Each structure stands twice: as C-alpha cells, then as structure tokens.
C-alpha cells in the first residue's frame, strides 16, 4: 500500500480524507457508515463509563492526579492508598518529590492532600515557607499555626505532648484495673522513654545548627542524665523549659557529675558541661530564644482536618533560625502523631492515618555537617506509627553541597522512598559533573526516553521545549517504567487556591 501511495503526500491524503475515509486506489472509504448507538444515563448509572471511557494504564487506586501524557488515561496515586492496597503497589507510604522551582511541586502535593483528606487522612504541612498551603488548609477547615519571631513558640522539652498522653493512658489503665492497668503502665513507660529520645534529638539538632557541630560524648551524657532528672520531676501542668535545664546543669547534680567522670571535682565537672551550658543559653537568647525558650503557645490539634505550620515570617537571610525552626517543626509533628497513635492503641481515641509534608529539605541539610543524621532521627518509624510522608527538594544536586558521608546518607532518603515524583529537571541531574556515581540515574534507573521527557519539560517553551507545561510529573516506583502525567485540578481548587505565583499576577 505504501508503494501505491508514494505519489501522494501527507497533505493531499488529509485533504482527500472525508468522514467515511480516503477514496480511491489504496484508500479505505466506507460506503455506509453506521452511527453508534447513543444512550442517556446519569453519572451514577454510567459511573463505569463516565468520565473514564477507557481503561487506565495504572491502578485506579488513590487520588485521581490527572491524565497520562502517553495515552490520556486517568492516573490515580497517593502513597498511603498504594501502600495499603493488596497486593501492595509500593513498599513504603512515602514519596520524594524533585523538580525545578515554579514547576508545580507544591500544587501537585496540595492536590494530592485534598484527595487524601476526603478519605479521612489528616494532612500536616510541617513548615510552609512561602506560604503555599495555607489557603488549602483553610478551605479544608484545618488549623493554621504561625511560628517565628513574635508569632508563636514551641518548647523542645515537651515533644508532641507525649508526656501528657502517657499520663492519660496510665490513668485510664489504672482506673480499669487488672491486666489493663499493667499494659497501660508498660505502654506509658515506653512512651516516656520515646519522649526522652525526642527531647535529645530536638536539642542536639538545635545545638548542632547553632554551633555548626554536634555534641561530644561527655556533653551528650550530661544532657541525657539532666533530661532524665527533669522528666522524673515533670508535671503535665507545669512543663520544664530550657532555662530549667540550664539551672539543673549549673547546680552540678551528682547523677550528671557521675556520667561526665567529674569524680567530685567541680573544676572537672564544669570543664565538661560549660560548652553545653553555653550552647543551651544561646537557645534562650536572640532569635532562637524568641521561638524555643518558652512554653508552647499553640499545640497541634490532631482532630483538625488538616494542619499547616506557617514559618513564612522568618526571612531567608536568617538561615540558621529557619533551619532550626524547620527541624523542630518536623520533630514536633512526628512526636505529636506518635502520642496520638499511642492513645489510639490504648482505645482512648479513634485511629487515624496522617500524611506529613516536609518541604525545602535542602535548607536544613546544608546548614552544617551531620544534619542528615538529625533529619533521619526525626523522621524514622513512619510505617510503625501509621504516618505517611512527603519530602520535597529542588534537585538531587543539592546533595553535592554536603560532605561525602552525608551525601551518601541523604541519597538513602530517595532510595527508601516508596515512590518518586520527578518534575522538570535539567539533564545534568542524571549524571554528576565529574562522571562519578551520585547522579539521579545512579540512585534510580531511568530509561533514555524518561530522561529526555523530564529534561524537555525543563526547557522553556520559547526554546523548543515543554517548559510551559507546568504540572508534568513522572511517577517512578522501583525498577518499573515511569508513568508520566499532567496534574488536573478540579474547579474547586483552581489557581485561586493553589496559585503559588500570586506576586507575579498582573492586576486587572
């Protein structure tokens, strides 16, 4: 047939093609064209046909995200739905999102959160810098917490009200008596140990950011011992603050002196703990003190449909304060959910799944060496506690600013994620400049077609690329082929809710 049509060019064929096909030799004109039958039905009766008239190339499980860029079918996805599916579609209820700025990352995640919220999953946006999510949370009827200079404070010594939850569980078990009381005491004891661990992680992280280095062994021993003393004296109605911890360390308690090997020598004791005391005092003064030195002003309400912590009042120039606030915000969010889930295990509240969004990951990782370990400690055990999470950053090359050890560890965030959502990226993302391992392609396998597609999205439309197609993402899970899709917003979302470029809109 191709030889018979050599004398016809494509434009001629298009002009000759009618509603019944191409007439003439080598054509395919139909003499009679039967009209297909038409039926009228409501969307309830025809739910299997409308609006999805063709089958999807991915499971129809999770939030409807948009249209497949290859076949126009509907792509449904969210990490909790795919993790809880049977059989499982991803091994971890977490995602890692990468993409250049202003290509739709926040809008895509917000769209996903809205759909997850409709299934009863509670979104928690832990540190909204721009802010991108406040309007979404307000529309969902959620809680907006402002944190920063003069706007709100969080006490790192009361992580997520775990102590209060432990007291509540123990009291409820004691009232029940018998085996229930013993179970409640065991659970409460474990929660208090977890709270101690969260206190240590939070304070070590804050000190690390402030001084640019971690604690030595003597300082860590002293801090642990001092916190144990404070916690033994803890009263829910009167939680301790950093100033109480400083006063305790300055009083040279025997328990602390023993773990720093002071051997009843005050000179040896203060030589060991003075650097720690100095760093703690730094957290009670200046910008750090405005946020961390006092009791928590507004606690997270996990009964709210959604929660966002607005940290947009902290300027980009104060990078250490911003990183410290983000780290503590993440720690507080995980701690609060852990306390809530423990109460659910005790039958005191309804069990709920939560999805935590950790944006601008690179800001915290770059503050100082060792911060990768701090982030890892903050975000551990997401599956154990029924927590899904999203980590968002601009580029895998952000990791190149880290030391070699931290860079390798940070790659583990991407490797362990249940799914990757890759937006527009330049070609150099996939291979490091020096040719060594560490590019995105060394962490996750990509086909040449997938690389070409993602990099084309990053090229401005005026230069022959698809840079104008904001909202395109490639869903990658393990070694399976990626699924490219374009995020489709509903009429109730629209740019009035999810627009992150309002400053650039022309007034009319």
Q: Tell me if residue 61 falls in helix, strand or coil.
A: coil
Residue 329 lies in a domain: no
Report d(CA 52, CA 100) in Å as an integer. 31
DSSP state of 254: H
Q: What is the 3-state secondary structure (H, E, C) of 431-480?
A: CCCCCCCCCHHHHCCCCHHHHHHHHHHHCCHHHCCCCCCCCEEEEECCCC
The token duo for 367 is 């503050």
> Domain of 388?
66-138+309-317+354-495
Residue 160 lies in a domain: no
* Residue 65 near residue 111 (C-beta atoms within 8 A): yes
Q: How far is CA 427 from CA 365, 399, 422, 473, in A?
A: 23, 16, 13, 15
Report d(CA 125, CA 93) in Å as an integer. 16
Report d(CA 418, CA 63) in Å as an integer. 16
Report d(CA 2, CA 13) in Å as an integer. 12
DSSP state of 235: B
Query: How many domains, in total, are found in the chain?
Result: 1
* Residue 60 near residue 75 (C-beta atoms within 8 A): no
Q: What is the CATH number of the domain that holds 101?
A: 3.40.50.300
Nearest to 159 by CA among 206, 110, 95, 213: 206
Mutual orientation of helices 242-250 and 217-232 as an angle, nearest 10°? 110
Nearest to 111 by CA among 143, 146, 91, 139: 139
CA angle at 488 for the pair 143 and 61, rounded to the nearest 5° = 80
Task: Give me the tens of pLDDT residue by residue for the chain, a chain 508 residues long.
Answer: 444 445 455 555 555 667 777 777 767 777 777 777 887 887 777 766 655 555 556 888 999 999 999 888 899 999 999 999 999 999 889 999 999 888 889 899 999 999 999 999 999 998 888 888 999 999 999 999 998 877 888 899 988 888 888 989 999 988 888 888 999 999 999 899 988 988 998 999 899 888 888 899 999 999 999 999 998 876 545 788 999 999 999 999 999 999 999 988 999 999 999 999 999 999 998 888 889 999 889 889 989 999 999 988 887 778 888 888 888 888 888 889 889 988 998 889 998 999 999 887 777 777 666 667 777 776 665 666 678 899 888 887 777 667 777 777 788 788 888 899 999 998 888 876 665 555 788 888 899 999 999 988 987 766 655 555 689 999 999 888 999 999 998 877 765 555 555 444 444 3
Mutual orientation of helices 371-378 and 178-211 as an angle, nearest 10°? 160
Q: What is the pTM of this model?
A: 0.79
Sign of CA dihedral 256, 262, 265, 270: negative
Residue 381 lies in a domain: yes
496, HSE (Cβ side, Cα atoms, 13 Å): 6
Q: What is the 3-state secondary structure (H, E, C) of 175-186?
A: HHCHHHHHHHHH
Within 10 Å of residue 163's Cβ, how many Cβ atoms?
23
DSSP state of 244: H
Residue 304 lies in a domain: no
Residue 231 lies in a domain: no
Residue 384 lies in a domain: yes
Nearest to 204 by CA among 365, 443, 51, 370: 370
* Residue with token string 């709920």: 352
Report d(CA 243, CA 265) in Å as an integer. 24
Q: Tell me if residue 310 falls in helix, strand or coil.
A: strand
* H or E segment and range at residue 127: strand 122-128
Residue 108 lies in a domain: yes
């Amino acid at each position: 047939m191709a030889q018979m049509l050599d004398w016809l060019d494509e434009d001629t064929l298009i002009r000759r093609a009618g509603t019944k096909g191409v007439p003439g030799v080598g054509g395919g004109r139909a003499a009679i064209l039967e009209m297909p039958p038409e039926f009228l039905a409501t969307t309830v009766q025809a739910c299997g046909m409308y609006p999805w008239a063709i089958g999807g190339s991915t499971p129809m499980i999770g939030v409807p995200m948009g249209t497949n860029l290859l076949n126009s079918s509907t792509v449904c996805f969210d990490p909790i739905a795919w993790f809880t599916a049977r059989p499982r579609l991803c091994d971890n209820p977490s995602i890692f999102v990468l993409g250049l700025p202003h290509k739709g990352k926040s809008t895509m995640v917000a769209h996903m959160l809205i759909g997850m919220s409709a299934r009863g999953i509670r979104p928690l946006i832990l540190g909204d810098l721009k802010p991108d999510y406040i309007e979404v949370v307000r529309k969902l009827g959620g809680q907006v917490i402002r944190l920063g200079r003069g706007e709100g404070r969080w006490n790192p010594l009361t992580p997520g009200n775990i102590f209060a939850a432990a007291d509540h569980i123990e009291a409820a078990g004691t009232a029940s008596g018998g085996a229930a009381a013993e179970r409640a005491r065991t659970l409460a004891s474990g929660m208090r140990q977890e709270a101690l661990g969260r206190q240590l992680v939070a304070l070590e992280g804050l000190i690390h950011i402030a001084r640019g280095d971690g604690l030595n062994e003597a300082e860590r021993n002293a801090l642990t011992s001092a916190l144990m003393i404070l916690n033994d004296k803890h009263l829910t109605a009167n939680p301790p603050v950093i100033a109480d911890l400083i006063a305790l360390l300055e009083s040279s308690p025997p328990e602390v002196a023993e773990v720093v090997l002071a051997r009843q020598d005050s000179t040896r004791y203060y030589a060991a703990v003075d650097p720690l005391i100095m760093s703690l005092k730094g957290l009670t003064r200046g910008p750090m003190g405005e946020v961390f030195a006092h009791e928590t002003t507004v606690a997270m309400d996990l009964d709210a449909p959604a929660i966002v912590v607005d940290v947009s009042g902290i300027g980009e120039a104060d990078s250490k304060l911003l990183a410290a606030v983000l780290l503590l915000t993440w720690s507080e969010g995980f701690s609060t959910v852990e306390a809530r889930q423990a109460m659910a295990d005790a039958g005191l509240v309804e069990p709920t799944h939560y999805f935590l969004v950790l944006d601008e990951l690179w800001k915290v990782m770059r503050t100082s060496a060792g911060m990768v370990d701090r982030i890892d400690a903050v975000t551990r055990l997401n599956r154990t506690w029924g927590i899904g999470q999203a980590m968002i950053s601009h580029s895998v090359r952000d990791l190149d600013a880290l030391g070699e050890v931290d860079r390798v560890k940070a790659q583990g965030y991407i490797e362990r994620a249940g799914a990757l959502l890759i937006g527009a990226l330049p070609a150099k993302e996939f291979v490091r400049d020096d040719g060594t391992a560490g590019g995105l392609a060394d962490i996750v396998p990509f086909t040449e077609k997938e690389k070409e597609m993602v990099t084309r999205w990053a090229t401005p439309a005026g230069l022959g690329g698809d840079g104008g197609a904001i909202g395109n993402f490639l869903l990658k899970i393990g070694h399976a082929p990626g699924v490219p899709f374009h995020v489709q917003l509903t009429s109730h979302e629209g740019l009035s809710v999810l627009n992150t470029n309002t400053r650039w809109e022309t007034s009319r």
